[in-house]
Amino acid sequence: MIVITAMMTATPGNGDALADAMTKIAVEVEKEAGNHCYLVHQSVDDADTVLIYEQYTDEDALAEHREHLKELGAGLKGLLAGRPDIKQFTLKG
């Protein structure tokens, strides 16, 4: 199992809009083969910080997701203050 975290920073004051946009994207991502979850979180300390937690069966499922996200993420440009901080993990246990 592959786990991804993506920490995103919204342009000032756009945290709610970013979280809403990512929640809409999550509905589509969760339909992807090999996706186990795509959860959107918003910081309680800084509303402009959004964390995405994702799980995929394998590298093939993740590769398919990355291609799909190019289309889904097109509307985020004005909402992001920079590139997301993405980290990849392997589920142990």
Q: pLDDT for 5-64, tens place per residue?
A: 999 999 999 999 999 999 999 999 999 999 999 999 999 999 999 999 999 999 999 999
Q: Which two tokens stand for residue 52?
A: 């995405």
All structural domains of the chain, each given as residue ranges with its CATH number in brackets, are 2-90 (3.30.70.100)
Q: Which two tokens stand for residue 80?
A: 């992001």
Give, in order, the Cα–Cα distances in Å from 3 to each of 28, 38, 77. Answer: 18, 10, 24
Q: Which of 36, 14, 32 is nearest to 72 (CA)?
A: 32
Phi-psi region of 53 (alpha: psi -120 to 50; beta: other; left: phi over 0): beta
